[in-house]
Structure formats: C-alpha cells, structure tokens
Amino acid sequence: MNPNTSGEIDNKKIITRLLFAVVAMFGFGFALVPLYDVFCDITGINGKTGDQITLSETMKVDTSREIKVEFVASLNAEMPWEFRPVQKSVRVHPGEPTRIDYVAINKTDNRIIGQAVPSVAPGLAAQYFQKTECFCFTEQILEAKEQKIMPVIFVVDPGISEDINEITLSYTFFIKPGSEVISENVQEPPKTHYNN
Amino acid sequence: MSAVIEAHDHHDHKPTGIGRWLFSTNHKDIGTMYLWFSFIMFFIGGAMALVIRAELFQPGLQFVEPEFFNQMTTLHGLIMVFGVIMPGFVGLANWMVPMMIGAPDMALPRMNNWSFWLLPGAFGILIASLVMSMMGMGSAPNFGWTFYAPLSTTYGPDSTDYFIFSVHMMGLSSIMGAINIIATIMNLRAPGMTYMKMPIFVWTWFITAYLLIAVMPVLAGVVTMMLTDRNFGTSFFDAAGGGDPVLFQHIFWFFGHPEVYIMILPAFGVISQIVPTFARKKIFGYSSMVYATASIAFLSFIVWAHHMFTTGMPVEAELFFMYATMLIAIPTGVKVFNWVSTMWRGSMTFETPMLFAIAFIFLFTIGGFTGLMMCITPADFQYHDTYFIVAHFHYVLATGAAFSIMAAVYFWLPKWTGNMYDETLGKIHFWLTTISANVLFFPMHFVGLAGMPRRIPDYSLQFAEFNQMASVGAFIFGFSQLIFLYVVIKCIRGGEKATEQVWEGADGLEWTLPSPPPFHSFTTPPQVK
Amino acid sequence: MRAAIRVASLLSLIFTSGQALAGYQMNLSPGVTTFSQGAYEIHTLVLWICVVIGTVVFGAMIYSIITHRKSKGAVAATFDDNTTIEIVWTVVPFIILIAMAIPATRVLLAMEDVSNSDMSIKITGYQWKWHYDYNVGEKAEDISFFSNISTPDARSLATSMNVVKDENYLLDVDNRMVVPVNKKVRLLFTSSDVIHAWWVPAFGVKKDTIPGFINESWINVPEPGVYRGKCAELCGTNHGFMPVVVEAKSEEDYAAWVASQKTAAADVAASANKTWTKDELMAKGKTAYATNCAACHQANGEGLAGVFPGLKGSAIAIGDIARHIDVVIHGVSGTAMAAYAGQMNDVDLAAVITYERNAWGNNAGDMVQPSDIKAAR
C-alpha cells in the first residue's frame, strides 16, 4: 500500500462516510429523546408514569401487603391556581383500584388552561403505579373563579418490589405552554375598592 | 484534477498581504491562525477569570453584580473550552500532522480554511452579547457553560438564541476540522508510514477526530432542541409539554464527557512526543499507548451520567456509571506509567518544553486522582457542584490541556520560526506559571471539601483565606502569560538560528525538514523505513 | 527512596493538618448522619489510596528526574517495552479499583433505601428561596413556609457592604426548616421554576429539585443542632444566596415548634382582617420587598438595565392600582415575574404593593389593604 498515491477518490469516500456519520450522530441526538423515554419506562428515572391503562381481569389483589401512598401537589411559578390533594395519603393493597381526589381552584378572573405533570417517587415504583383515570391525561381548563374536583383512579401492580412500601404521587400544574391567559376582561382588571 | 493538487497549483508561490490569511489553504498558515486565535481567546477568557477571582478575593460583593458574575463564569468556560483548548489543538494538528506523516499539506485545504474562519464569527457573536450586556442591553449567556434547561430555555436571556447559533458554528468548524484530519491521516501518509509507525501525537489526534465526529453533532442536536423549545413551541425539555429537563443533561453529557477527552487526548499526544525527545529514549510501550488511547475514547461514551448523580437516578444506574468511570483509571494509569518509564534510565535535560511536560504529568495525575475520587457515587454527593470539582477540572484542563499546549509551543516554535526562543525567559515563564497555577487551584480542593458551591459570586467567611490565596495565584498566573506572549513574539522576530533537528533527542519526519519548513512540507514523499 | 518518603510525609501533613489549623476547614466533614459518615469514610479511603499510588508514581518520577539526567552523565537505556510490567500495572489498578468499589456500593445502597419513614417534608426550590411543606402524608401538619436568606441586602453590589459579615454570613435564613431528632424524615424535592439542588453537607444529602418531577431522599438526625447548607445547582442570578438551614429539635421541642407555627399562622390570618395604617404598611412593605422583590428589582427599585425592569417611576407601580395588584399576584406570563399569590400572604402582598407605590419617589400616594388582596386573589 502506498498511501501517497491515494488521492481524490479516497478523499471523497472518506468525506462521504464521515458526513454520513455526522448526520447519523445528529439524528442519534434526537433519537435519544424516545430512547430516553423507553429507558425511563424500564428504570423509572424521574418517576415518569405511563399512559392510561385499562384494568386487566387477571390482576390479583395482594392483601398480604399494604403500601402507603402519599399525595403532593405543586404549582409552577407562573401558575396562579390553588391546587391540593383532598386526601393526604392512603394505604392500599397492591392490585386494589383506589380513587382519590385533587382539587384545583382558579381564583383569578381569567380562564386558564393547565397541564398537570405526574411524577412518582421512588422512581422504581413508577412502572408499577398505574392509573385508569387521571386529570393529567388531558389539559384542564378552569374558568374564572372555578373550582374543580379532579379524581385519580390508580392501582399499584402487585409485581412491585417487596422493598417498596411507600410511594409518593406528585402532580405539578403548569400553565399550558403557548396558552396565554385567555379572557375577555383581561384588559379590564377586577373591580376592587381602595383606600386613598 | 484532485482538489489537493489544484490547490497546490493555485498556491505554488507564497501569497502575500491579507489575502494570504483570508484565503489561505496552507496548513501552516491556517495552523498559525488557529494558534493565534487560541492565544487571543486565552487572554480574553483569562481576563474573565480575573474578574471572577477579583470578585472572590474577599467576602461581600466588590466589583460586579451577581448577574454579571454568572455571565463571566459562563463565558469563561465556553471560551476556554471551545475557543482556547480546542482551537489550540487543531492549530497544532494543522501544523504538525502533515509534517509528521510526510505529507505536503492537509488533504482538504479549502475546507481547512472554512473551518478556521467560522471560529472568529462564532466567538464574535458570543463576545458581542457580552459587550451588549455591558452596555445595558439584555444579558449575555448566564447559565453556565453546561447551559442546563430550563435555566437556558424557558428562563434564558434573549441572547441565548445567538449563543445557540454560535455553538452551531463552533460545531461545524470542529466537524470539518475533524474530517480533514481523518482524511489527511488516512490518505497522505508517506510510503512506509504504517498506522503503527505513526507518532503518538498523530494517533491521539486520529482518535480525537473520530470522537469529534461522533459527539459534535449531538451537541448540535441538543442546542437545536433548545432552539425549537425556545422559539417553535416544542417541549423537549419542558415538563409542561411532556418533556424532561433531565433529558437535556443526558444528551448534553453524552456530548460532554467525550468532549472532556477531546480536550485531553491530544495533550497525551504532545506529552508523548516531548518526553522521549528530552529523555533521549524511545517512548515506552508504544502500542499500549495507542490501545490505551482507544480504550479511553471508547469508555468515554458510557460514563456520561457520572456528571448527574444528584439528579435522582435509580441506584442500578448509579452503580453502572460508577463502575464504568472507575475503569477509565486503568488506561489513564497505563499512560502515566509509560511516561514515567520513558523517563526512567533516560538521559534527561530540562528545557522549557520538558519542564512543562513533567509539570503536566504531575498535575494531570493529581486531577486524575480527584477524578477517581468523584466517581465514587456516595462521595460525589458531597463533591458535586462544589469547588472540589472546579479544582479537579482545572487541574485536568488548565495544568493539563493548557500546559500541554504551552509545552507544544515551546517544543515546536523553533521548527515553526527557524529561531530558538529565549530559554531563560521560557524557564521564568514556566516556574511562574506552575507555581501560581498551584497557588490558584490547589486551595480550591480545600474550600470545595469544606462546602463551597461553585458558580457563586460571594461566600461565607470560613472560605475567605483560601479564596484569597487562589485569587493571588490567579493574578500571577494571568500576568505570567504576558511573558509567554513576549517569548513567542521575540522568537518570531529573530534569535539564534535553529537547526533542522532542533533538539538533540528529536526523532521523526518533522525534524528532517529545514527550520522553518518550506511552504509545502513534503513535496516528494519521504521514505519511512 | 528518600524522596518518596519526603513526598509522602508532606502529603500526609497537608491532609491531616486540616483540623489542626483552626478557623477553616480543609477536608470533608464527617457530618452527623449515616450518609455523611459513609461518604466521609469512602472519601478518606479513596484519598489515601490515591496518596499511596501518587507517592509511588511521583516518587519514581522524582527519583528518575534527579538521577537520570544528562548533566550527571546518564546514558539513555534502549528498552522501550516490557510486557510483564505492563500487565502488572494494568491488573494491579484493577484490583485496587475493586477494593474501592465494594465499600462504595455498600454505602450507596444504604443511602437509597427510603422505606419506612416516620414523616415527610416536601422541599420546593424557587428562584431564589426554599419552600418547606409539612402538609404531606399521614403525619401531615398544616405548616408550610418560605425560607429566604436572612440578609437580602447581600445580593446586590450597592448594598452588600451594609451587611454584617459574621460566622453565618450567607448561611442564615428567616425561617428554618425544623425536624425532630431520631426520626426517619423523608424529603421530597421538586421545583417551581429551574433546577436547584438542596444540600446540607452535615447530612450528606444533595438532591436536585427538578420542575415537574419529584425526587426523594431521607435524613435521620441523631442530635439536636443547627445544620447549614446551600443551593448547589446554578439556578440564576441569586444562586449564591439560597442558604439551607435545618434545625433538629428534640421530640418535645419539635412539638412545641409545631404548636407555635400554628399560632403564628392564626395571628397572620387575623392581622389580614384588620385595617392597616399607611405607615405600618410601608414599614412592613420595606422588609417584604427586600426579601421577595429586591433580588430582581433591586433595593433602590431601579432594576438591572436590560435584565430586570425597574419599578421606580414605572407605569405599573404608579399607574392603575388594580393592574399593579394583578401583576404581583398573578405574575406576567412569559417573563421572570412569577405569580406571588402562592408565595406571600395577604398582609405582605398589600404591604409590598403599597411600598412599591410610595417608595423611591414614587408618588401614587394610595395604599392597598390586605382585604383588597383577598378580593383580588
């Protein structure tokens, strides 16, 4: 082999291959997004919970175990609602569907669209924490001064590790990105009286 | 006709004036421009570091607002990483790779021109945002060089979009540079120069170029996602739309960890050229050096999450990344042992390049040790985001990568200019730099362990003594570099004429060319035995 | 090998003399919990392994530098390979690494076991303060509060020199997080805006707070005391001014604290029903402004050019009062201005708005009562 004789053709081949690698790696960066979701489903990073499920008949209630589930509610900085769980915690048997409620109040004079983001701790419990009904599956619209009870029906899969006996379910309400506060009277602030 | 030959025809005689630099396709001229660019950026980024250290000289705010302080830490990091270390090494590669493998020039000379001239644009944008910030027009990037979402997306200043553009340009520049280096090494080696005969510097750059190809596009991807998140309504990193801020960190560090090795592998190459020269002995364990470099490069892809232990990963993931990171110590250790063995029973002299190389081995190893400490997950919970980390990566990058560039400049300057540099001034520069660098960075270990977080403009009183010491070191370190600048300029302007071989123990094709070498390095390929 | 011994003794001097030098700390503190002590032990172990390896490697290097120099007439040997020794220095480090990995794994597994807790506290990071919520889980207590740096003036160049710099400078808050001793307290972390990290070195706990997601850790503090830490993840302008202070109290003292918090909450609620005088509002407003608003809008109301708008003479601060209230309690979407409805009580909001309308030469002249805030929420 005499490398010095290899000229343009080789260069072109090299450039083509390397450019292909560059494009592939750029794509790989984006592929990490769905890959990460798969990875999260498996390992429970960040306690991401899955989509809506329908209860399977085969799921057995395991009455020998009891798991403490605690509920917390948070608001993103720009979200002016009030938001809290009605029940602070429940004890459930794995496999037993349970309903709890959250309540959200829009005390402003504007209609606001919110999106709740669920998260479960510990992360390893996330894939066993299944919801048949949840207000986080869709965006929530609260009219001015509206108060809304938002139910969650969940079941803890009996396959969950024996080591886990406490689970926290958290929701954070964000103002839906891109949805500004929608209201006819946004120009006209609420009437209050002042002491001058 | 081939692009290479065409370019040669066009530039058969040395062009003059500004056109020589603007339209240059010559590997030496472009290499020179890269090195000067890196040097200028070193002073700009260094000035920012001095603002940081002046503010941290004593508790309380003295000089800058916290907001401006954050811009300083951000731009200092970005400039040092992308504007100093990386272009510095590309400059060395441009100058040395063709000469070391017996080639006339780089394989893709016009692309070479492009990849350089993107850089002033990229950094011009970045620095312009700082100038605007100083004029009270918005804020420059202020989210740290790691630009974590959502601080850089939802909460980023307006200049973030310019920052994204700038990063895209830097990435393009690096990718083109890497393609060029790979093509040159694959195609333009002299007859008989097999892969396992290539100098270690060429090898480390060959592997580094592949790392660049693999991860710079990922960086481009992550900033593109930021761009669409900020401006086009996507939610890659915004939990509100189903995204995840931690995903940002995974993608960033998938780029970021190999990036760390991009900045250190060429340094290993430089040291592996210098130590044998001044020990007058062949490099010990050539093939294990090559294999160690390759395994470090491979491992760099599977350790990224060790930057993210506190984000709340499952314990299995923490263990995996801890073990994988520990493994890196093995090939890195092999390198250090090989350098020591090369020195062992040699016949050493201690000119400035050798002094810097020895300082590199000492200080980089200290940085390696602290790196080993922080891969231990439970201990890292305490170290993470403290000055212990700052100390670690400055030992690796400042007294590591930057020292190796200084060593390389002293080592090859006589070859480049045809004149010997001023050895006395070089040694003064070395001792001032090395002592002050340790006064600057060593106390950071202590304040870090004692609990001082990084990226803070003000600190509690118990950290005062060591911060004061570090600031004193910083100013000596900074101003010592003016000596370096003087030595370089003096050497370019004249001095004792250098021989072809320059150093008594020098071995390799580059030392067979006259000093300075002809405009086209090897017009007829040399024969390698 | 004299050189090697010298280096070893020098290094050990550096690392052990830390405690001897009074006034400042040079090493990790062992802390009070099993986490922090585990971290300290593994840190010490790995540090010493590094010191020993370093001594050997640097010793060999220094010996070689001294002996194998040309000026001493050394002639270069010709060896450049030795397979045996290369295998040795690949395998030996591997064994050392395994020796480090085993205790590290043990410590880590203990840390990640969050089960069987006695109570839960939710910690939320805000730009730039902490929120502690005890209203979580089976042992929920109706207590929640923000914890701000106690010296808000430290955050600005103009006012920093006015701050007294004592031993707890930048390490003190207005409201401490309080926990009972000898209870396994589960900590839940989340954030309202960007990523922060809650860190108390003495507990060995450092966890990121991530908007939208929940992280957990736990502490079990064995002895009463005050433990201090800081935010450890860059979170914007005032990242350096987010101290964490945790006070561990005996069970009785903790119960008393819980009772006092509830009384205090009732007092605040009561004070919201009375009508305040302008002087009272201005006085209260000045403090509340320094704590909640000055981080961005600055103590002098002038903001930071191009970054945070000033309030001095601004159209909102001296214009329509209803609009002013709306902006403060509901925030401004798409900007850094958060909704303060959930972050401050009626009295503080009324006071802050009154203050903003009448300070720094702003001459709206009017005032806002807590009842106005209540109505506008």
Which domains, and CATH codes, for chain C? Answer: 2-111 (1.10.287), 119-269 (2.60.40.420), 272-376 (1.10.760.10)
Residue A191 pLDDT: 36
Distance of CA C176 to the CA centre of its chain: 12
- Span B152-194, pLDDT tens digits: 998 999 999 999 999 999 999 999 999 999 999 999 999 889 9
Spell out, as residue ranges, where chain C has pLDDT lower than 70: 1-23, 334
Residue A45 pLDDT: 63
Peptide bond before residue B353 is cis, with ω within 30 degrees of 0: no
Phi, psi of C206 (to 5 degrees): -135, 115
Yes or no: say if C233 and C196 are a contact pair by the CB < 8 Å rule.
Answer: yes
Q: Is C216 on the interface with B (CB under 8 A)?
A: yes
In a domain, B113, yes or no: yes
Q: Is C213 on the interface with A (CB under 8 A)?
A: yes
In a domain, B10, yes or no: no
Spell out, as residue ranges, where chain B has pLDDT lower than 50: 1-12
Contact A22 B107 (CB under 8 A): no
Residue of B249, B376, B377 to mutate for C, most C C-beta atoms under 10 A: B376
Question: What is the SS3 assignment for A145?
Answer: coil
Residue A44 pLDDT: 63
State chain A's mean pLDDT as an integer.
79
Q: Is A145 on the interface with C (CB under 8 A)?
A: no
Show the domain range for B442: 26-512
Residue A183 pLDDT: 47
Residue B370 pLDDT: 95
Residue B504 pLDDT: 92
For tokens 């829009």, name the residue: A106
Of all residues in chain B, the percent with pLDDT exceeding 90 is 86
Nearest to C141 by CA among C119, C157, C125: C119
For tokens 């918090």, name the residue: C261
Distance of CA C245 to the CA centre of its chain: 8
Q: Going by CATH, does the domain composed of A47-175 fall within 1.10.3470.10?
A: no
Residue C205 pLDDT: 93
CATH number of the domain within which B225 lies: 1.20.210.10
Contact B345 C68 (CB under 8 A): yes
Read off the pTM.
0.90
Residue A52 pLDDT: 67
The Cα of A92 is separated from the nearest Cα of chain C by a number of Å equal to 13
Residue A6 pLDDT: 42
Helix B86-101 / helix B160-187 crossing angle, nearest 10 deg: 10
Yes or no: say if C45 and C216 are a contact pair by the CB < 8 Å rule.
Answer: no
Note which residues in 296-335 of chain C have CB less than 8 A from chain A.
Answer: 320-323, 325-326, 329-331, 333-334
Nearest to A15 by CA among B184, C139, C119: B184
The count of other CB atoms within 10 Å of the CB of residue A27 is 13
Domain assignments of chain A as residue spans, ordered by start:
9-43, 47-175
B109 or A2: which leads in pLDDT: B109
Residue A11 pLDDT: 82
Contact A76 C368 (CB under 8 A): no
* Range from A34-48, A124-138, B244-258, B337-351 carrying the lowest mean pLDDT: A34-48
Regarding an ipTM greater than 0.85, the answer is yes
Q: How much is the average pLDDT of A155-183?
A: 79
In a domain, B464, yes or no: yes
Q: Which two tokens stand for residue A182?
A: 């929608």
Q: What is the 3-state secondary structure (H, E, C) of A20-67?
A: HHHHHHHHHHHHHHHHHHHHHHHHCHHHCCCCCCCCCCCCCCCCCCCE
Residues of B with a catalytic annotation lie at 76, 105, 145, 173-174, 257, 259, 261, 272, 306-307, 332, 335, 454
How many structural domains is chain B composed of?
A: 1
Phi, psi of A121 (to 5 degrees): -120, 140
Residues of C in Cβ contact (< 8 Å) with A194: 321, 366-368, 372
Residue B2 pLDDT: 40
- Span B194-221, pLDDT tens digits: 999 999 999 999 999 999 999 999 999 9
Nearest to B256 by CA among B206, B221, B227: B221
Instruction: Considering only CA atoms, give the Rg of chain B.
Output: 23
